[in-house]
A and B are shown apart, each in its own frame.
Chain A
Amino acid sequence: MSNIGSFEERVKNFDWSISEKELGYKEGDTINIGWYCSDRICQMGKGDRPALLWENSLGEEKRYTYEDIRVCSNGIGAFLQKLGIKDGDRVCLFMDRVPELYIGLLGILKIGAIAQPLFSAFGDESLYVRLENAGTSAIITQRKHASKVRKILDQLPNLKHIIVIDHDLAKELKEKEIAFSMEAGRLDELSIFPTKAESPSLLHYTSGTTGMPKGVQHVHYSLISQYLTAKWVLDLTENDIYWCTADPGWVTGTSYGIIAPWALGVTQVVLDSGFSAENWYRFIEKYQVTVWYSAPTAIRSLMKAGEEVVKKFDLSCLRHLASVGEPLNAEAVVWSEKVFGLPFLDSYWQTETGSIMITNFPGMLIKPGSMGKPFPGITGTIVDAKTYEPVNEIGVIGLIAFRPGWPAMMRTYWKNEATYQGKFKHGWYLPGDRARLDSDGYFWFIGRDDDVINTAGHLVSPFEVESALLEHPAVAESAVVSKPDEINMEVVKAFVTLKPGFQVSEELELEIMNFIRKKLSPLAMPQDVEYMDSLPKTRSGKIMRRLLHAKEWGEEVGDTSTLEND
């Protein structure tokens, strides 16, 4: 029997107090995610249980019990306090998937500071705009990434401390850098900051169509959603070995790669390594992974690697598979059922929602390609894109909409309340995606309702890439759209015009690609750069991305009456 039991019964009798009771929380109590994920489990007499089994690409292994993550996170919290970091300050985590990233998040939360995890592949420009916007006080990083911080340090007056977790004693620390060893810093006692339900916890940055990335602010009460969704959707139990393949630089990696499994006292495994189908299967077999939460891009990559490689390993340990990040195509569901004997169950949510919203549950009829149904307690529907009234007709495409009020919902965009308010229409929260409903109440994903590019489950802002392209000396104008990709669903494509004196060439195309890769991130790098004599514009001079998008996707161009040269 799965944790959720009967989905229909859960929907009928649902109240978030189910989660509150299980976590021993009452309204008005202190609620600190850092404490719940470590100290509470130890107080329950489970301090000796493994919390984190870690391995890197060199085959090095580390193992941490719940008692280990309790004292290590205490040490990190105390170290930050000694530096003067206090509640409400933003502390960035900018690391590969090393244990300090996972445990450091708890340490930051324990002292009431706000954790700001950022993807370690970000280039200096991406890093700068996010640290600048957040007014970040300290950044915890590895020496391999410290050089990116040094490049932008002069422009970040609020950034007072660069904490290097693996400092090479043979080298000198640079300006504002300070060394810290998690192992040496273990601390038995730390006064946990008495955060309340609405105290800020995490700041995750996400991209939009226009403007710079937005800081999605979450609160400690998000734990209530994250705990119960992990229990009912991922079906986690204490006996599981759980692998969430998401990087904690993104929300899945924190909500379901740190907070939920540890609040449930589950053992999780982390592989700090690049992708290789063989290595992933070896890892599952070695650690006897039972529950696996991954992403469609990874699943499609595994499909591409073929079935023969699967047969080299005994993966019978697996009992439950789930997926998130982009729509999971029906072929991937059918394939996983064939090769693993289990379907990947799709789940839908986003940085702003903080926890799973629409999903396929253990035990329910799976319709391959469908998003599933809303989690109990979540009121979700499809609304008309103009009137924002619910669409009652089956199969009609509209906007996905949720009634606000679940615990993990973002509380605002950092220093951007107006944009936050703009996400609500007629009492609905609109995540910006289009879908349709079938006669059984299943949601079917259609696509984004804006120009944001979803590549391998990560959102890339065309505006951010276009702005960065204009900083290249050869680029006069730029327009960025998505183009279809078999593995990543979408990838970035750039259209550019060149300044006088620059010639079209393959060398220049590669140079532009690498320029964006280093400045923003590999995800944002255009995989294709097309030169144009001029970009399509409206008569008022606005670039018509829509036309370029239609060209890439083989769609109807639509109304071109405002086209400048029409």
Chain B
Amino acid sequence: MDELKDVILKYVIDEYADEDDTVTCDTPLISGGLVDSFSMVSLKRFLEMRYKISIPDDDATPEAFDSVDKIADLVLRFTSK
């Protein structure tokens, strides 16, 4: 789980954070304005590619993507299927 979170956190920081942003696993990403709904599409695409999963649109909600912790839970849910 920690490794999974590390990978997601690194991707979020590299791709979406500005230089002054401090991002941790519980930082609100969508409601905090760090990742907008359009950018969420590329984040979803990354997760699907990296973990060979398919996340249905109904599960790819702003709430489910709102922190690295929540995203990791989501990924686990689909990798264990």
Q: Which residues does A use to contact B, with CB under 8 Å? A: 57-58, 96, 121, 143-145, 147, 168, 272-279, 301, 304-305, 455-456, 487-488, 491, 506-507, 509-510, 513-514, 517, 522-523, 525, 527
Q: Which of B1-9, B28-36, B69-77 contacts A (4 or more CB under 8 A)?
A: B28-36
Given A276-B30, A276-B62, A514-B15, A527 and B41 contact (CB-CB distance below 8 Å): yes
Q: Are B62 and A275 in contact (CB under 8 A)?
A: yes
If over half of B's interface residues share one DSSP class (helix, strand or loop), that class is named, otherwise mixed; here it is: loop
Q: Are B39 and A522 in contact (CB under 8 A)?
A: yes
B28 to A: closest C-beta gap in Å:
6
Residue of A with least CB distance to B34: A274
Instruction: Give complex CA distance A525, B16 in Å.
Output: 13
Q: Are B30 and A275 in contact (CB under 8 A)?
A: yes
Given A506-B49, A507-B49, A514-B15, A143 and B63 contact (CB-CB distance below 8 Å): no
The reply on B45 being an interface residue by CB < 8 A is yes
Residue of A with least CB distance to B58: A304
Given A525-B41, A527-B41, A144 and B31 contact (CB-CB distance below 8 Å): no
For the complex with contacts A274-B30, A525-B42, A527-B41, 17 further pairs of A-B residues with Cβ separation under 8 Å are A57-B28, A57-B31, A57-B32, A144-B19, A144-B20, A144-B21, A147-B18, A275-B30, A275-B36, A279-B31, A506-B45, A510-B45, A513-B41, A513-B42, A514-B15, A525-B38, A525-B41
Closest 9 CB pairs of A and B: A522-B38, A274-B33, A276-B31, A144-B18, A57-B32, A522-B39, A274-B30, A144-B20, A506-B49
Give every chain B residue within 8 A of A523 (Cβ-Cβ): 38
Residue of B with least CB distance to A510: B45
Give every chain A residue within 8 A of B66 (Cβ-Cβ): 276
A234 to B: closest C-beta gap in Å:
25
The reply on B51 being an interface residue by CB < 8 A is no
Give every chain B residue within 8 A of A301 (Cβ-Cβ): 37, 62
Instruction: Give complex CA distance A491, B19 in Å.
Output: 28
Q: Are A274 and B62 in contact (CB under 8 A)?
A: yes
Q: Which of B21, B31, B61, B63 has the most C-beta atoms of chain A within 10 angstroms of its own C-beta?
A: B31
- Total interface residues in chain B, CB < 8 Å: 26
Give every chain B residue within 8 A of A276 (Cβ-Cβ): 30-31, 62-63, 66
Residue of A with least CB distance to B32: A57
Q: Which residues does B use to contact A, with CB under 8 Å? A: 15, 18-21, 28-39, 41-42, 45-46, 49, 61-63, 66
Give every chain B residue within 8 A of A58 (Cβ-Cβ): 32
Q: Which of B19, B34, B37, B49 has the most C-beta atoms of chain A within 10 angstroms of its own C-beta?
A: B37
Instruction: Give complex CA distance A186, B37 in Å.
Output: 37
A321 to B: closest C-beta gap in Å:
21
Q: Are A513 and B45 in contact (CB under 8 A)?
A: yes
Instruction: Give complex CA distance A456, B19 in Å.
Output: 28
Give every chain B residue within 8 A of A491 (Cβ-Cβ): 38
Instruction: Give complex CA distance A514, B29 in Å.
Output: 17
Q: Are A517 and B31 in contact (CB under 8 A)?
A: no
Residue of B with least CB distance to A521: B38
Q: Are B33 and A273 in contact (CB under 8 A)?
A: yes
Give every chain A residue within 8 A of B18 (Cβ-Cβ): 144-145, 147
Give every chain B residue within 8 A of A273 (Cβ-Cβ): 31-33
Instruction: Give complex CA distance A5, B41 in Å.
Output: 45
15 contacts between A and B (CB under 8 A): A57-B32, A96-B33, A144-B19, A144-B20, A147-B19, A274-B31, A274-B34, A275-B30, A276-B63, A277-B62, A455-B38, A510-B42, A510-B49, A517-B39, A517-B42
Instruction: Give complex CA distance A304, B63 in Å.
Output: 12
Instruction: Give complex CA distance A488, B37 in Å.
Output: 10
A165 to B: closest C-beta gap in Å:
13
Residue of B with least CB distance to A278: B63
Give every chain A residue within 8 A of B28 (Cβ-Cβ): 57, 274
Q: Are B32 and A510 in contact (CB under 8 A)?
A: no
Q: Are A275 and B31 in contact (CB under 8 A)?
A: yes
Q: Which of A273, A276, A304, A488 has the most C-beta atoms of chain B within 10 angstroms of its own C-beta?
A: A276
Residue of A with least CB distance to B37: A275
